[in-house]
Amino acid sequence: MTLVEKILAVHSGKDRVSPGEFINARVDVILANDITAPIAIKEFRKIGVDKVFDPLKIVMVADHFVPNKDILSAEQAKFMRDFCLEQGIKCYDVGEMGIEHVLLPEKGIVLPGDVIIGADSHTCTYGAIGAFSTGMGSTDIASAMATGYIWMKVPQTIKFVYNGTLSKWVGGKDLILHTIGDIGVDGALYSAMEFTGKAISSLPMDGRFTMANMAIEAGAKAGIFHVDGKTSAYLKLRAKREYTIYEPDIDAEYEKVIEYDVSSLEPQVSLPHLPSNAKPVSQVKGIKIDQAVIGSCTNGRLEDLRLAVEVLKDRHVHPHVRCIIIPGTQQVYLDALKEGIIEKLLKAGAAVSTPTCGPCLGGHMGVLAEGEKCISTTNRNFVGRMGHTKSEVYLANPAVAMASAITGEITRPDNV
């Protein structure tokens, strides 16, 4: 069996599962946010049970429209908050919160070998630590909150092998954009993407979270990494319960194996209006931008902010560019503050926000007007994703985003 199949077999009480098989699987963590939780809660009420199956295995995070931008978003957050108080569920709210997919690993809530579901498509992020995690609809979340189980089809697994050594300024964001550009937004449809190879072994945890996060942009059910020394070191200070590490069998059967030599890979930029429209930055440099966003569940971690400041040095944001920095959690914000990162960004003319999904989904804190162009470390650049339907979003890593913010046009970091 593959890594994903082993995890799902254990959680469904079977010796073996195969791709295409329907199973009932026990869940370890259930997640919802201020947009999706209200829908799930309303469906939960219809089931006819008074209490969730286990409040300690359910987490709710206010992150999409917080601090609340209007009355409707305030009502949604309150609806979720009240349910958490009623049921004894942990709710991460303004002041101690963060973007859900940065927060849960940071808090040690998600661990290797877990089955994790969330009412958010980017729940696949947690595959970076060797868990099976996937997004589901709010009605599925309601059922799981009542029963502790999910009904699903076992996905096939595609193995991605990244050979070679990564160049300066090239990281997880570039690997996943290059991969999506190669296979397309449906290239891994309802599959598990298993990431491995020499380049992956050298990749820091933040880069792995980025890659797993964007597995959904290739149509995948999940993205997953093997647990290695870097994973164990990351978890040592965070894990608060026991966990099990699984490995694929030597004779595991994969739907296909795709290999890349990434030694000569450039930083990638995905042009409007699909993540799969990825090009080397050298082919798209010179496009004028109005805004740069560094943050989100894809690239809002401490290493991402360090990378941005490494490019920035003592330079200043271009006078015609709005540069918006959004740390992924309060802890990321605090760590960046202690390291002097926040001060450098502010002095350079960037705006630093409290943790929020904000502009990623066109919510607030950086919505685009008609005709505006934004380079962003977020995960989607669909039509109207960040504001007006006639605006444009270009996806890139934090180094490219900051270099572009300095020059006012899409720029290679080593050309600043």
Chain position carrying tokens 């309303």: 42
C-alpha to C-alpha distance for 393 and 378, rounded to whole angstroms: 9
Chain position carrying tokens 């946010």: 33
C-alpha to C-alpha distance for 88 and 83, rounded to whole angstroms: 8
Average pLDDT value for the chain: 95
Residues 133 and 10 occupy one common structural domain: yes
Is residue 139, in this structure, part of any structural domain at all? yes
pLDDT one-digit tens code per residue, 140-176: 999 999 999 999 999 999 999 999 999 999 999 999 9
Given 214, 233, 260, the domain boundary residue is 260
Structural domain count, the chain: 2
Residues 339 and 244 occupy one common structural domain: no
Per-residue CA distances from 356 to 33, 103, 129, 211, 328 (Å): 12, 11, 23, 20, 7
Lowest mean pLDDT among 9-13, 244-248, 358-362: 358-362
Say what angle helices 71-87 and 37-47 make with each other, to 10 degrees.
50
The three-class DSSP label of residue 33 is: strand
Model confidence at 351: pLDDT above 90: yes
Is residue 219, in this structure, part of any structural domain at all? yes
pTM of the full predicted structure?
0.94
The per-residue pLDDT for 293 is 97
| Residue 325, domain CATH | 3.30.499.10
The residue segments making up the domain with residue 158 are: 3-260
Q: Confidence class of residue 96 from pLDDT cuts 50, 70 and 90?
A: confident
Q: In this structure, what token pair is assigned to residue 302?
A: 């401490």
Is residue 285, in this structure, part of any structural domain at all? yes
Residues 133 and 176 occupy one common structural domain: yes
Is residue 11, in this structure, part of any structural domain at all? yes
Q: List phi, psi (to 5°) of 217.
A: -70, -10
Residues 186 and 115 occupy one common structural domain: yes
DSSP secondary structure string, 11-22?
A: HTT-S---TT-E
Model confidence at 274: pLDDT above 90: yes
The three-class DSSP label of residue 45 is: helix
Residues 409 and 383 occupy one common structural domain: yes
Q: What's the mean pLDDT in 348-365?
A: 92
Q: Which of 99, 92, 104, 103 is nearest to 29 (CA)?
A: 104
Is residue 85, in this structure, part of any structural domain at all? yes
- Asked whether 310 and 399 are in contact (CB, 8 A), the reply is yes
Residues 24 and 82 occupy one common structural domain: yes
Task: Kindly give the pairing relationship between strand 58-61 and strand 29-33.
Answer: parallel
pLDDT one-digit tens code per residue, 171-210: 999 999 999 999 999 999 999 999 999 999 999 999 999 9
DSSP state of 306: H
pLDDT one-digit tens code per residue, 374-408: 999 999 998 899 899 999 999 999 999 999 999 99
Given 203, 236, 260, the domain boundary residue is 260
Model confidence at 95: pLDDT above 90: no
Residues 276 and 254 occupy one common structural domain: no
- Asked whether 218 and 184 are in contact (CB, 8 A), the reply is yes
Is residue 265, in this structure, part of any structural domain at all? no
Residues 254 and 285 occupy one common structural domain: no
Strand residues in 69-142 grouped as ranges (E): 90-92, 115-118, 132-135
Residues 356 and 242 occupy one common structural domain: no
Residues 219 and 297 occupy one common structural domain: no
Is residue 226, in this structure, part of any structural domain at all? yes
Q: What's the mean pLDDT in 127-137?
A: 96
Chain position carrying tokens 């605006």: 391
Is residue 376, in this structure, part of any structural domain at all? yes
Residues 210 and 314 occupy one common structural domain: no
Q: What's the mean pLDDT in 235-250?
A: 94
Chain position carrying tokens 């963590």: 29
Q: Percent of the chain scored above 90 by pLDDT?
A: 93
The one-letter amino acid at 124: C
Q: Which of 191, 192, 185, 160 is nearest to 257 (CA)?
A: 160
The per-residue pLDDT for 360 is 87
Given 260, 290, 318, the domain boundary residue is 260
Residues 318 and 180 occupy one common structural domain: no
